[in-house]
Structures are given as C-alpha cells and as structure tokens.
C-alpha cells in the first residue's frame, strides 16, 4: 500500500487513535519490513472500538502479529 493511502487510513474517528497512528506512520512506517508494513495495514483495517480496546489495554488482541504491532505503535518496542 502506498504511503499516501496509509496516511489516509490513519485518520480515524477517534482522536486517541489518530495521535497513535499518525506519528508512527510519519516516523517509522517507511523503515518497517514488508511483513511489518502488511501487519500495520491489517491493523488499520480494524474497527475503531476494537483498536481502542487493544491500545488502551482493555482487551488483548487475539492475533499475535497484530498484538506485536500494537506494542510497537504504542512505543513499547523498538521498530
């Protein structure tokens, strides 16, 4: 997916998600491996309430690859 589309997909209905996704895309997306870029794009396909629950720690993401991306976006792991 082209970076412009990824940036657009980062614009969410929740400010809490916007402030997580947009800085991540601007600072780290281009350096990700193809596998990690694909995982991030899959993450962006999620619904806002589900994503919010994962990022705020209310629920655990059932997909291990996406769960790792949640951690990376939250800044708990190096890219």
Q: What is the CATH number of the domain that holds 42?
A: 1.10.150.250
Q: C-alpha angle with apex 75: 7 to 68, nearest 5 degrees?
A: 85
pTM of the shown model: 0.90
Residue 79 in any domain: the answer is no
Q: Please tell me the distance from the alpha carbon of residue 29 to that of residue 21, in angstroms, as a whole number.
A: 10
pLDDT on residue 76:
59
The DSSP annotation for 20-79 comes to HHHHHHHHTGGGS-HHHHHHHHHHHTS-HHHHHHHHTTSS--SSHHHHHHHHHHTTSS--
Residue 50 in any domain: the answer is yes
Segment 24-74, tens digit of pLDDT: 999 999 999 999 999 999 999 999 999 999 999 999 999 999 999 999 999
Which domain does 27 fall in, by range? 3-74
Residue 49 in any domain: the answer is yes
When divided into structural domains, the chain yields a total of 1
Instruction: Please give the mean pLDDT across all residues of the chain.
Output: 92
DSSP 8-state code for residue 40: H
């Amino acid at each position: 997916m082209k970076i412009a589309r990824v940036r657009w997909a980062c614009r969410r209905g929740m400010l809490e998600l916007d402030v997580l996704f947009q800085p991540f895309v601007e600072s780290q997306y281009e350096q990700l491996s193809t596998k990690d870029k694909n995982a991030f794009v899959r993450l962006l396909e999620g619904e806002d309430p589900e994503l919010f629950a994962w990022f705020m720690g209310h629920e655990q993401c059932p997909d291990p690859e996406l769960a790792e991306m949640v951690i990376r976006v939250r800044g708990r792991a190096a890219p």
